[in-house]
Amino acid sequence: MQLMKTSTKPGFRAMFASLLVFWLLVSARLDFQHLAVGAAFSFLITLFWREFLMNIEQRKDVLPYKVLFSRKSLAYFLSLLFEIVKANVNIARIVLDPRLPISPVVITMHTSLSRDLTKVMYANSITLTPGTISMGLTGDKLVVHCLTQEGAESVHHWVMEDKLKAIERDLEID
């Protein structure tokens, strides 16, 4: 009876349908066997994760939809995309320079972010940006490997932390 109630909820159906569509795109076949296997596994995965999916609005370690699709989040993702492109250009310059001007450095910095979710987003943003890798995150201390000294200096004053701080303020309102 409980299974029947869970499987009729809109979130359950949406996740099942999303997984099934993903399966069909990945398998690239539309015969009965692939459809049946995809449907079975999509159902089992959705069933396994139903507690997480159904209680997502009450969780503190995920971004609520209204924050995820807010102007501040959009500005963050667009800024991150811009920073990634900018870093790619800088890395291309370094690689194409015959002198190969690298000066690798490991820095330890402190973040002013208060939520674990935004700290992890910040560390992942650093890793997504070419030339920098987040090596560790403990509390408010972040260890970062940078390809150049200039890159290390720019990480200390990176605008992305301020954008995540603005997202944190939206999370505190909720």
pLDDT of 155: 87
Query: Is the same domain home to 99 and 155?
Result: yes
Distance of alpha carbon 108 from alpha carbon 159, whole angstroms: 17
Query: Is the same domain home to 126 and 165?
Result: yes
Query: Is the same domain home to 111 and 86?
Result: yes
Q: Please report, as a single letter, which amino acid is at residue 154.
A: S
Q: At residue 98, what are phi and psi to the nearest 5 degrees?
A: -60, -25
pLDDT of 53: 59
Q: Please report, as a single letter, which amino acid is at residue 111.
A: T
pLDDT of 117: 83
Query: Is the same domain home to 48 and 99?
Result: no
Structural domain containing residue 12: 2-54
Residue 89 lies in a domain: yes
Q: Are 106 and 144 in contact (CB under 8 A)?
A: yes
Locate tokens 């069933």: which residue? 47
Q: Provide block-wise average pLDDT over 10 residues at a time, the chain (174 residues).
A: 52 83 85 91 87 57 64 90 94 91 93 89 93 93 93 86 88 65
Task: Say how many domains are in the chain.
Answer: 2
Query: Is the same domain home to 43 and 116?
Result: no
pLDDT of 1: 45
Query: Is the same domain home to 111 and 153?
Result: yes
Residue 60 lies in a domain: no
pLDDT of 63: 58
Q: Are 16 and 58 in contact (CB under 8 A)?
A: no
Query: Is the same domain home to 159 and 78?
Result: yes
Query: Is the same domain home to 43 and 75?
Result: no
Residue 11 lies in a domain: yes
Distance of alpha carbon 126 from alpha carbon 145, whole angstroms: 10
Query: Is the same domain home to 31 and 69?
Result: no
Please enumerate in sequence order all residues whose Cβ is within 8 A of that of 52, keeping only pairs 6 or more positions apart, or say none.
Answer: 59
Query: Is the same domain home to 11 and 72?
Result: no
Query: Is the same domain home to 14 and 81?
Result: no
Residue 7 lies in a domain: yes
Residue 59 lies in a domain: no
Which tokens sit at 112? 């002013």
Query: Is the same domain home to 40 and 109?
Result: no
Which tokens sit at 139? 């509390």
